[in-house]
Structures are given as structure tokens and as C-alpha cells.
Structure 1
Amino acid sequence: MSSSGKVIVVGAGIVGLATAWHLQEHGFEVSVLDRDGVAAGSSWGNAGWLAPAKTIPLSEPGLWTYGPKELFNPVSPMHMPLRVDPKLWFFLAQFMAQAFQSKWDSTMADLTEIDKVALEAFDELSIGGVEGLTHEGPFVVGFEEESQSAGFRKEIDGVIRHGQKVEMSRLENPRELAPMLNEQIQVAYRLEGQRFIEPGPYVQSLADAVVKRGGVIRAGAEVVHVAKGDRPAVILADGSREEADKVVVATGAWLPGLTREYGVKTLVQAGRGYSFSVATDIPAKHSVYLPHHRMACTPYEGRFRIAGTMEFRGPDEPFQQGRVDAIVSQAKKVMRGIDFNDRKDEWVGSRPVTPDGRPLIGQTKAENIYVAGGHGMWGVVLGPATGKYLAELMATGNTNPIIKPFDPLR
């Protein structure tokens, strides 16, 4: 690899680290700076799904039916606080403006091409020496009755209509692959072709690979400003300044604060998710999705991680114990063999949601400053592909058609 200059990547989640890894493939010298550390944000506590068949627009027509009632219900899976917050209300208005079938189809068409290459991008990291494991499916998708499955099946039909191949079949016994589901779950589907990771260990393995190849990762390095120039610079909270040939901002829900002045006007709202892990009587082997209860579950370090909620709040607001309690309440209705008092790793993370459901990947108005973020719930599955095509753009100046719809200056 020939040297192509120095790049500072701001953000040590899966998107930032995947970008750093691919920049190294192009010969760049890379430093990754993060306020907290590797996978400290939404890359740590999520369900770890590598599920292209579920990587779809969040804003959908059904929101007009249940959204207004659900949003202000304190125990609803989708929630925002009822308070005077102009930015939040403006985001909500834009988000709801996308909740039409034509808008869903437009965004889905743009997501499909990156969805198709998402799993290949993980394989490329594995071949390249990243030691983290991806685990094969199937996923178990459960419902209390057939009528609850209509929305999910419509989404899968939409994904197939836009060009993905999705294999799904009915399970005769929902407990065959998911023994923690109780008799309330009477209908289940087996969704093939998806994978999962244990997010924390996997992202750490990606960080280790970056360091092994000569990269530097610094925790406790809070970037408060990015300054443009022939050699852009980052300004840290301690007042220090570091220059590079190029800078990538991959700070998730905190992205607007560093990039707005460079033409990135799309709103990025924290859609906070919560999770915890529990022990199960029979070890969990498969990811479980309960769409009606909006719970995404996955095996995690010998336990079972249960994740849920889309809470529209500020990214640095305090952990809301009531959100976990609401997930527990729902889980108790449909699960068995679990002591919910033995919860570990209670967590909240801020997923970066854009109103139109498209991420922000590419160059800003400042020639050598780039962004990678705004993936909503799909930063994990799309992180490696994002890093690959952004690094290609930075090295060659050519924008791959796969990421063209995600222009951060749109």
C-alpha cells in the first residue's frame, strides 16, 4: 500500500471504524478519535442484526394510524416527550411527511442496492483479517395471531418488490427454534439469509484490526469543531488542534453539530433504543423478532439480549428506566423461562435518524471534510459497506452509484 496521506476519523463506532479500515486499504494513515471509546454509542447495545431484509425506511404509512396515539404514550415502543422543543417538532413534521407509500418506495429503492452488498462487506472484513464473527440465521418472527403479521408481511413484500431475494416460511411450532417464546405466540415465520453479530465484541475486533495495521485509536478525545482548509483540522475540547489531509465525521446522532456549517442541512434526530440481557432456561441460538411488540432479540455472550423502543429525545439526555420497564412488561407477556429480575447491561443508545430514511455518506461543501452517518437503526448492518464506498470516494474522487442517493448535501 502506498501512502495517500493522513485522515482523522471522528467517531469509533462501526461506521467510523469500517471507514478507517477501508481507508487503510487505500494506503491512508488513519487516526480515530472518540469522546468515549470504541463502540461507546449506538454500536454497543443494539441487537446486532445483519438483516438486509429488515433494512427499510422507518417512516411508513401505518404511522398515520398508530403514530399520533403512540408517540405520547409513556409506555409505547415509539415515544417522544410532550414538551416545547421546536427542533424535535420540526423533525417529527418532516418524518411524518415521509409516511406515504410513494415516499417509502422511493427510499426503499435507494436502500436496496446497499442492502444487497451489506453482507458481502462483512465477508470482506473477515477475509481481510477482522476476527469478529458473524452468525448465520434463521431469524424467528413471532406473532400472537395471524392478523398481527399483516404489516410485517407487507414490508417483506415491498423489499422483494424492490429487488431483494428474501426466503421466508411458516414454522409449524414457534418454539422449535425459539424456546423462550410462550404459548401466546401462536404464529411464527422463519426468515432466512440474515445474520447477527455480538455488537460490542465485533466492533472491538474491528478496532483491533485497525490498530494492528498501524492505525491509532484515541478514547477521551472529544472533537468540538472541524475547521476547513487545505489541511482541515479538528479542535478538541481541551483546546488542542490536530491537522490532517482529510477528516471524516462519523459521530452518529451528534453529527449535525460538526457538519452543519459545511452544508449538511438534513436533520439527524436521536432515536434512542434501549436493551438489556437475560438468561434463558434453554440457551438462545437464533435472533427473534416480535414486530407487534417492537422487540428485537438476539443471543449475546451466552445470554439473550432484548432490545426495543424508538425514543425521540436528545442524545445526551438521561437514561429513562421507564423505557426498560415497558420492554420488560411486553416481554413477560410473550416469553417464558426467564427471570426478568436478573437483567444485565441495561443500556440506552442514540441511533441517528434522518427524516427521509436515507443515510448521509459523502463529501461536504468543504473539499476535504466528509460525513458518514444518519443510518437510523441500520448503522450496524450498513457500516462496512458505508466505509468501503466512502473510502473509495476519498481515494479516487469517484462516487459509487450505491451511495449516490445518500449525498449529505441533498
Structure 2
Amino acid sequence: MNKEIVIIGGGIIGLCSAYYLHKEGHKVTVIDKSDITKGASFVNAGYITPSHLIPLSSPGMITKGLKWMFNSSSPFYVKPRLDMDFLKWAWAFKRSATAFKVEKAIPVIKDINLLGRKLYEDIKTSDAFDFHYEHKGLLMYYQTEKAGEEEWIVGQRGILEGFDVKHLSKDEVKAYEPDLDLNIKGAIYYGCDAHMTPQEFMRKIHAFLKSQGVTFYTNESVEDIIISGNKITEIKSSKRTLKADEFILAAGSWSGLLAKKLNLKLSIQAGKGYRINVERPTGITMPAILIERKVAVTPMQGFTRFAGTMELGGINHKIRTNRVEAIANAAESYYKDLKIKSSEITNAACGLRPCSPDGLPYIGKSKAYKNLTIASGHAMMGWSLGPATGKLVSEIISEKQTSLDIKPFHPDRKFN
């Protein structure tokens, strides 16, 4: 049965949900507080990353986080604050960062990432719209033996999971990047990964959905949610009232705040990331992560993007210049011939990634409401998991067998 659907949020998760719901024949409306031209879906590294098997909430991250948390230019920075939502999230993060829970999460993360990669490729080969997509793999560069050894442990686990993973010497890296002078000791290569140009895909899927009759209301904030019993009857924005059969909460870092209007406890913290675009030749042809500095490097259409940092400081878009400069310095320390200009640093942008405490997204219906599906909390995997989440959301609402077991993503799950 075709339904009327309202999606709150026009980022990669919301638009992919709209794409698959429209394919199922539903009447879809998307509402977003912005004009859908900026935010995390536009400034990310554009990675599709089956290789990222380890969730953010891992035992090693606790140690690194304590080391980095008071250094405002470190890869992982926590702005100290007495905020109850943050303190509860941090406690849940700590409870999730155990070897046992990481082990349980690995196959879940692997399967949803592989589904996301397949679906991007399906969209690419369909008649819907074309976009930049390259399946070239990912290089993890390291400058110290310690970092290389740590990443190779992850790489060996990747091999056990069936991925193409190689441990490369500096000379062997030359086969992938023959024209670069790299200040590295070696790299771990993951052949399973792919990359894209995010803003191009976002612009094209948005235009495609509009051409197919999906309704968009932009620059409108959801101000109230009206409930009757265990169902949402309508939402009220700053400009209109929208009724629907089903509602999807895909508002990224704002999802937790909107959930409060429904008396739901959706634990999400905004993890700010930054990007620098270099719109001139760099010679870089392979996506890479600079391990020690946690900086992602992506050759996109017409430019190279340097992206990184995880800053837990609440919902704000303040640009911390020292954090942007840390990305530029990291890039220059690995790529010997690279010099990032002050104008490129000045033009940096940021986005807020919605982070759950256990590193898994929230996908599914809360038991509190029959017609609410939640799709948020994807952290640094939002881009990678966009189509997979959209497909699962469509299957949930269309009452079909889901492509994956969605129990690990249940929005009501406890962190204990």
C-alpha cells in the first residue's frame, strides 16, 4: 500500500531514504532547516569504507581521547562542559568501548558497508543519474612503525573478513602514487574501498528526486510534533503543517533534539569535522588516510579534499582556525611537495556528524510510536551508509523483509 511519507532531514540519509521510498511508489516530502547545499553531507571525505571495521567506541579510543581531549588542535577534541546529555553519552561511550562489544559490532559494520557500496554501484549503473564514483581502494599512510603495526592488526582482521589488504613498503606505494614524494615509512592498502565527490552526488540526487515529484520544503525548521496516542499525526514547521502516514527522523546531529519533542531518549552528540579543498593540481590520485594525524585525503572531481578531526563541542558551526591549520600541517608533513595556501585554509568549512555512543547508527522504529522510523547516528560512516540506510528505511515502511538484520541498529537499544 502506497503511503504519504514526511522525511525530516535532507542530508545523505534523508535523500537516500527518499530515493528508495519513491522507487516503492510512496508519496514523499522532505523538510530541512537548511537549503540542502551545506553540512556534513557536503564536506565529508566521500569514502565508501568497508575497511572501517572498528567502531569509534573502541578501547584504544578511550586512551587516545584522554590524551588528546584537552588539546584543541588534536585529531580528537572534547570541549569540556557540564552538559547532562553529553555526560550520559560519554558514559555510554565508555560502556560500549570493550573488546567484546567491538567484536560483536565488526560483522554488523562490515555488512552494512558492503550493502552501501553495492547500492551506490547499482545507482551508478541505473538510468537515474550519473555521478563520480571510483573503486580504487584506500591507502593508510604511516610515518612511525608503531602506527603501521597497529593498522596492520586491523588489516589482518580485514583479510580474515575476505578483504583485499596489503602491507606496502614505501617503495611499493610508488606503484599506486608514482608521481608523489611521500614522507612515510609505508602504507596499508584496502582494495575494498571506493570514493566519490559528495556535493556532486547530493546536487544530482536532489535534482533527480525533484524531477520525479518528491516535494521539498527547505529553510524550514520543525517547531512542533503533534501526537495522538502512539502515532504522530502531523508536524508543524515555521511555515506549514504537514500530515502523513509515516514520518522519518533523519535530521543528523539535530535528531536527538527533535526526539526530545517526542519524549524519546536518542543519545547523539555532534562530532564536528573540517575540510580544506585545494582546487589546483596536487598530483594526488589515490584516497589516503594519514594515520598519525587522522586526516583523510580524497582526489575529487576538479579538486583534492583534506578532511579530518572529531570535535565534540555541541551543535555549532564555529570554525576553529587552529584545527583547520592542523589538517593543513598534517597534509604538508606527509606530501613533501604540497603547500596549502592561507586562502584555502580561510575557505575551510565544517559539518556535524551525528555520533551514537556505540558507533552503530540508529535505524528502525521506536516502540513508542507506530509511524516513526529513525535513521540517524551514523558518525563518520554517514556517507558510506547512505544508500544502505535508505534501502532499509524503505523496506521497514513498505513492510518488506529487510536486506540486513536491523536488530543491532534498534533506536531503543540500551548501552550497558
Q: Would you say same fold, with TM above 0.5? A: yes
Letter in 2 for 1:312: L
**SS of residue matched to 1:177:** coil
Unpaired runs of at least 5, structure 1:
none
How far the C-alpha of 1:369 sits from its partner, in A, is 1.4
| 2:65 and 2:77 in contact (8 A); partners too | no
Against the structure 1 CA distance between its residues 64 and 380, is the aligned structure 2 distance closer, same or farther, given a 3 Å change threshold?
A: closer
The answer to whether structure 1 residue 359 and structure 2 residue 358 are counterparts is: no
Q: In 2, Cα distance between the equivalents of 1:370 and 1:128? A: 29
Match among 6, 19, 22 for residue 21 of structure 1: 19
The answer to whether structure 1 residue 252 and structure 2 residue 252 are counterparts is: yes
How far the C-alpha of 1:280 sits from its partner, in A, is 5.7
| 1:50 and 1:380 in contact (8 A); partners too | yes
Q: In 2, Cα distance between the equivalents of 1:128 and 1:395? A: 23
Q: Look up the match of 2:217.
A: 218
Letter in 2 for 1:42: A
How far the C-alpha of 1:255 sits from its partner, in A, is 0.3
Q: Look up the match of 1:120.
A: 118
The answer to whether structure 1 residue 157 and structure 2 residue 156 are counterparts is: yes
Q: In 1, Cα distance between the equivalents of 2:43 and 2:179? A: 21
Q: Look up the match of 1:277.
A: 277
How far the C-alpha of 1:339 sits from its partner, in A, is 3.0
**SS of residue matched to 1:372:** strand
Q: Look up the match of 1:227.
A: 226
Letter in 2 for 1:237: S
The answer to whether structure 1 residue 177 and structure 2 residue 176 are counterparts is: yes
Against the structure 1 CA distance between its residues 159 and 408, is the aligned structure 2 distance closer, same or farther, given a 3 Å change threshold?
A: farther
Against the structure 1 CA distance between its residues 281 and 39, is the aligned structure 2 distance closer, same or farther, given a 3 Å change threshold?
A: closer
Against the structure 1 CA distance between its residues 120 and 281, is the aligned structure 2 distance closer, same or farther, given a 3 Å change threshold?
A: closer
**SS of residue matched to 1:343:** helix
Q: Look up the match of 1:382.
A: 385
Per-residue CA distance 1:309-332 (angstroms, 9 max, x = gap): 000011225222221012222222
Letter in 1 for 2:409: F
Letter in 1 for 2:392: Y
| 1:264 and 1:408 in contact (8 A); partners too | no
Runs of 4+ in structure 1 off by over 6 angstroms are none
**SS of residue matched to 1:16:** helix
**SS of residue matched to 1:206:** helix
| 1:198 and 1:301 in contact (8 A); partners too | yes
Letter in 2 for 1:251: A
Q: Look up the match of 2:34.
A: 36
Q: Look up the match of 1:187.
A: 186
Aligned pairs for 1:6-405 within 5 A? 6-126=4-124, 127=126, 129-161=128-160, 163-171=161-169, 172-178=171-177, 182-229=181-228, 232-238=233-239, 240-260=240-260, 262=262, 264-279=264-279, 281-341=281-341, 342-343=343-344, 345-364=347-366, 365-396=368-399, 398-405=401-408
Equivalenced residue count is 406
| 1:174 and 1:181 in contact (8 A); partners too | no
**SS of residue matched to 1:296:** strand
How far the C-alpha of 1:128 sits from its partner, in A, is 5.1
Against the structure 1 CA distance between its residues 106 and 34, is the aligned structure 2 distance closer, same or farther, given a 3 Å change threshold?
A: same
How far the C-alpha of 1:265 sits from its partner, in A, is 2.3
| 2:364 and 2:373 in contact (8 A); partners too | yes
Against the structure 1 CA distance between its residues 11 and 39, is the aligned structure 2 distance closer, same or farther, given a 3 Å change threshold?
A: farther
Against the structure 1 CA distance between its residues 134 and 389, is the aligned structure 2 distance closer, same or farther, given a 3 Å change threshold?
A: same
Report the more deviating stretch, 357-366 or 78-87: 78-87
| 2:281 and 2:303 in contact (8 A); partners too | no
| 1:246 and 1:368 in contact (8 A); partners too | yes
How far the C-alpha of 1:403 sits from its partner, in A, is 2.2
Letter in 2 for 1:13: G
How far the C-alpha of 1:212 sits from its partner, in A, is 1.9
**SS of residue matched to 1:52:** coil
How far the C-alpha of 1:335 sits from its partner, in A, is 1.8
Against the structure 1 CA distance between its residues 80 and 177, is the aligned structure 2 distance closer, same or farther, given a 3 Å change threshold?
A: same
How far the C-alpha of 1:262 sits from its partner, in A, is 4.3
How far the C-alpha of 1:261 sits from its partner, in A, is 5.2
Q: In 2, Cα distance between the equivalents of 1:134 and 1:312? A: 30
Report the more deviating stretch, 178-187 or 353-362: 178-187
**SS of residue matched to 2:225:** strand
Against the structure 1 CA distance between its residues 219 and 374, is the aligned structure 2 distance closer, same or farther, given a 3 Å change threshold?
A: same
Letter in 2 for 1:381: S
Q: TM-score, normalised by structure 1?
A: 0.92
Against the structure 1 CA distance between its residues 144 and 362, is the aligned structure 2 distance closer, same or farther, given a 3 Å change threshold?
A: same
Letter in 1 for 2:130: E
Per-residue CA distance 1:211-260 (angstroms, 9 max, x = gap): 1221122221211233234663121134x311111111101111012224
How far the C-alpha of 1:398 sits from its partner, in A, is 4.6
Q: In 1, Cα distance between the equivalents of 2:71 and 2:282? A: 34
**SS of residue matched to 1:396:** coil
Letter in 2 for 1:62: G
Q: In 2, Cα distance between the equivalents of 1:336 and 1:180? A: 12
Q: Percent identity?
A: 26
How far the C-alpha of 1:70 sits from its partner, in A, is 0.8
| 1:141 and 1:188 in contact (8 A); partners too | yes
**SS of residue matched to 1:366:** coil
Letter in 2 for 1:367: K
Q: TM-score, normalised by structure 2?
A: 0.91
Per-residue CA distance 1:167-223 (angstroms, 9 max, x = gap): 334253435434686442121233212110100111111112211221122221211
Against the structure 1 CA distance between its residues 231 and 78, is the aligned structure 2 distance closer, same or farther, given a 3 Å change threshold?
A: closer
Letter in 2 for 1:343: E
Letter in 1 for 2:267: L
